[in-house]
Amino acid sequence: MQHLYSQLRIEKEERQPVYLQLADQLMSLIRNGPLHAGQRLPSSRDMAEQLQVHRKTVVRAYDELLAQGWLESHTGSGTFVARHLPKTQLQTLNGKKSDAPDPPTKAGFSFEVPVHLERPIVKSVAPLHLDDGFPDSRLAPLEELSRCYRSQLLLGNPYMRLGYSDTNGTLWLRQELSAYLNETRGLHTTPDNILVVRGTIMGMYLVATGLLQPGDNVVTGDLSWAGAGANAAQVGAHLLKIPVDEYGLDTTALEQLCKKKKIRLVYVTPHHHYPTTVIMRADRRLHLLQLAEKYGFIIFEDDYDYDFHYLSKPLTPLASADKAGMVMYGGSFTKAVSPAFRIGYLVGPADVLNYLSKLRRIIDRQGDNMLENAIAALLQSGVIQRCLRKSLRIYRERRDVFCDLLQTELGKYVQFQPPVGGLAVWADFDKRINMAALSQQALRQDLYIYDGSAYRQSLPAHNFTRLGFASSTPEELEECVGILKVLLGK
């Protein structure tokens, strides 16, 4: 038994107090079996001598374990491992000895990761980037946001300000959002028609979880945002895909599908289709709304970059012409401020949002009150609106610069149409180019581009990818294109 306690190691240079180091190690010996229920521990004096620590340190460690129920003390007899603890053995349920466990990295129970969750997470890892269409956070009104956030932290009644709030989102933000969306998008909302969420993806999750049942049919374009399909799969719905062409989602194909199958939800990005950036033509928009009313399916309208349209005034959303209450409209401030600030909104009939707010409550009691009210202040003062106008002008210039560079420097390698809106170019590289290899070579030159592998599943005869231009200055775009030109010319 003396050998057992010789395994104890005290590191006096560590930040953790010595008595807690000793308590944790003794607890581990009890939990893993070497110390058994009812076993007597050395006296505090003997343990202190063996470990070369002060006796009071050992007493504190024993007291800690006594308080937690791992030890018990009997006056005049000493300190023992608590007798009520079960005998611990490292074995499996079938009685066979288990392999050495590694709880920090491997669970002791079985589970499966569904295929639809195996999606790469895009992170900002390279100083140069032609990304998926991210905004330039250098343009965000960070100083104004910082001041508003600080005011929310310091001013007002702290019990109200820092306590629990409405699951739907703060009333102030919903009021400002209602006015903002009504003015800029032609919606007809009140605060009751808005549920504040942490981004469009959270809104999609709530709609899928709350309004879909296993076996329901969900329709997307054959090229579409993978998150929509993942949410459908998560609830056991069937994902059906229809064509997307230069005029957006093919609603004639959708109508034919509706005649054969009961459709529960259609996911669509009509303003700038993701990933192709094309606009859904007006007649198809009207047709889609008519089909929703006739066949009773939900439309989830993801308006992820409404504010960035370059040729004319942005087209009003489907939700603005929805007379039957069939559209759930999702958006966020990801592009207006930064992806780091998770503020989005879900717009729809008040009864549906009231139900979805109850669902939201069991996964996320409420959002960030401070951030929500800070965004409300920026909307009320017009800061976000001014920032969007400035960003639109800058992004238009960057689009023009980038498209000119693509045409003049990479014209023999890539085909594209200048986008009328959005923050990325839908580019078709020569089929002979190995996009996976090009992506890796570019990354070694500190340039990130996506290899487009997900798009080739739907378009195997092409070599499409998205090249985001908005997050880079003209000088950075020129450097990016220069790197690609060298790599492609080898």
Q: How far apart are CA 100 and CA 108, in angstroms?
A: 11
Q: What single-letter amino acid sits at 280?
A: M
Cβ-proximal residues to 88 (8 Å cutoff; 6+ apart), any chain: 30, 31, 32, 33, 36
The partner residues of 299 in beta bridges, in order of sequence, read 266, 327
Sign of the alpha-carbon torsion through 224, 227, 228, 233 = positive
Burial class (CB in 10 A: 0-12, 13-18, 19+), 382: exposed
How do 424-429 and 464-468 pair as beta strands? antiparallel
- Give the CA dihedral 55, 59, 62, 67, nearest 10 degrees: -170
Per-residue pLDDT of the chain (490 residues; tens, 9 = 90+): 556 777 788 888 888 898 998 899 888 888 887 888 888 888 889 888 888 889 999 999 999 999 999 999 888 788 998 888 876 554 444 445 455 567 777 887 888 888 888 777 776 678 999 998 899 989 988 888 888 888 887 887 777 777 778 888 899 999 999 999 999 999 999 999 999 998 899 999 999 999 999 999 999 999 998 889 999 999 999 999 999 999 999 999 999 999 999 999 999 999 999 999 999 999 999 999 999 999 999 999 999 888 899 887 778 899 999 999 999 999 988 877 778 788 899 999 999 999 999 999 988 888 788 888 889 999 999 999 999 999 999 999 999 999 999 999 999 999 999 999 999 999 999 999 999 999 999 999 999 999 998 888 788 878 999 999 999 999 999 999 999 999 998 6
Q: How far apart are CA 185 and CA 388, in angstroms?
A: 14
What's the pLDDT at 92? 45
Cβ-proximal residues to 52 (8 Å cutoff; 6+ apart), any chain: 10
Q: How far apart are CA 165 and CA 119, in angstroms?
A: 33
List the chain domain ranges.
2-81, 128-133+392-489, 140-385
What's the pLDDT at 90? 47
DSSP SS3 for 301:
strand
User: In CATH, what class is 128-133+392-489?
Assistant: alpha beta
140-385: CATH architecture: 3-Layer(aba) Sandwich (3.40)
What's the pLDDT at 93? 43
Query: What is the end-to-end Cα distance of the chain in Å, rounded?
Result: 70
For residue 332, the Cα-to-chain-centroid distance in whole angstroms is 12
What's the pLDDT at 124? 66
Q: Which of 470, 467, 472, 463 is nearest to 484 (CA)?
A: 467
Give yes or no for a contact between 403 and 423, defined as CB atoms under 8 angstroms apart.
no
In CATH, the number for domain 2-81 is 1.10.10.10
DSSP SS3 for 37:
coil
Give yes or no for a contact between 404 and 203, defined as CB atoms under 8 angstroms apart.
no
